[in-house]
């Protein structure tokens, strides 16, 4: 005998671009949105009864309709509005809205910013998610694909050695990563503009920290982000170590004073951690 376990369904990768035309200088909001619903949908799976099943096409249309009504000043607030709408639907007990925001900036033309021409920044995508149930909504912001690199102030030594260890100690290496970071807000938070300060703090700390390992720098960045924003309760960082290996040029009669590297994408070290506020 079979019994239906956990289940969820929704609409993925809803592409939304909104142009704000309030003045001569236009603004663009470029989003990819996932809508996911949980609830009393057993009959849909087990009996083929679509009575409780909100069509995923309706979910897509709802995104566009609410986007027309909402200014989308902050993507977190728009995601919350979507979650609040869907949680009222019959049979729905839990909603998760996930958003990736693709940043654009105005083109510089003739020494000034163009009013309606844009270029993608390529400096990471903003992310947001809202999980809403009968009790409350949890709001998470973040950034992904934020690629950073520094050529000094990074070391790695003093690690255990055994018969399979070939890595040598170093007090100067390239440190590069593509950061994925997410942070939770305390209940009642409404000012989501702090994300710019969090991102800036992460980058500044990465640059200035004397790194003894990727783990060491990860913790320093998380700690600094919590200090920069009192509304954040915890932050999770995922840092793949983009290895840059020193090329051996001795076969060609050349030295290599830490200048010529080969950048590798696989395999890579993967360092992840969550840093939370301590209790007094």
Residue 189's contacts (CB-CB under 8 Å, 6 or more residues apart) are 139, 231
**pLDDT value at residue 253:** 97
Q: What is the pLDDT along the chain (280 residues), one digit of tens a residue?
A: 899 999 999 999 999 999 999 889 999 999 999 999 999 999 999 999 999 999 999 999 999 999 999 999 999 999 999 999 999 999 999 999 999 999 999 999 888 999 999 999 878 999 999 999 999 999 999 999 999 999 999 999 999 999 999 999 999 999 999 999 999 999 999 999 999 999 999 999 999 999 999 999 999 999 999 999 999 999 999 999 999 999 999 999 999 999 999 999 899 999 999 999 987 5
Contact status, residue 152 vs residue 214, Cβ threshold 8 Å: no
Quick one: CA dihedral 255, 258, 263, 266, positive or negative? positive
DSSP annotation of 250 reads G
Contact 104, 30 (CB under 8 A): yes
Q: What is the pLDDT of residue 280?
A: 57
3-state class (DSSP) for residue 24: coil
pTM greater than the 0.85 cutoff: yes
Which whole-number Å values give the CA distances from 54 to 32, 74, 85, 88, 109, in the listed order? 20, 27, 13, 12, 47
Cβ neighbours of residue 107 closer than 8 Å, sequence gap 6 or more: 113, 114, 117, 118, 119
Distance CA 231, CA 242 (A): 31
| Catalytic residue list | 11, 56, 243
């Amino acid at each position: 005998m079979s019994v239906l376990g956990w289940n969820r369904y929704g609409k993925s990768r809803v592409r939304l671009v909104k142009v704000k035309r309030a003045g001569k200088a236009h603004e663009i909001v470029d989003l990819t949105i996932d809508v996911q619903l949980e609830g009393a949908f057993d009959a849909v799976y087990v009996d083929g009864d679509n009575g409780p099943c909100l069509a995923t096409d309706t979910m897509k249309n709802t995104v566009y309709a609410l986007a027309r009504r909402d200014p989308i000043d902050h993507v977190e607030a728009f995601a919350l509005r979507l979650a609040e709408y869907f949680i009222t639907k019959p049979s729905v007990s839990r909603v998760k809205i996930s958003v990736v925001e693709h940043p654009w900036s105005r083109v510089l033309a003739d020494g000034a910013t163009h009013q309606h021409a844009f270029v993608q920044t390529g400096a990471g995508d903003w992310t947001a998610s809202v999980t809403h149930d009968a009790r409350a909504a949890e709001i998470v912001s973040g950034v992904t694909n934020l690629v950073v690199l520094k050529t000094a102030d990074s070391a790695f030594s003093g690690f255990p050695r055994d018969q399979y260890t070939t890595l040598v100690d170093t007090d100067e290496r390239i440190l590069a990563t593509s950061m994925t970071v997410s942070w939770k807000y305390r209940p009642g938070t409404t000012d989501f503009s702090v994300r710019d300060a969090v991102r800036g703090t992460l980058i500044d700390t990465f640059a200035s920290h004397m790194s003894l390992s990727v783990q060491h720098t990860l913790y320093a960045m998380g700690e600094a982000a919590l200090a920069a924003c009192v509304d954040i309760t915890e932050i999770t960082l995922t840092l793949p170590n983009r290895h840059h290996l020193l090329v051996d040029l001795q076969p060609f009669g050349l030295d290599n004073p830490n200048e010529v590297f080969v950048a590798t994408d696989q395999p890579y070290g993967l360092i992840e951690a969550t840093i939370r506020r301590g209790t007094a």
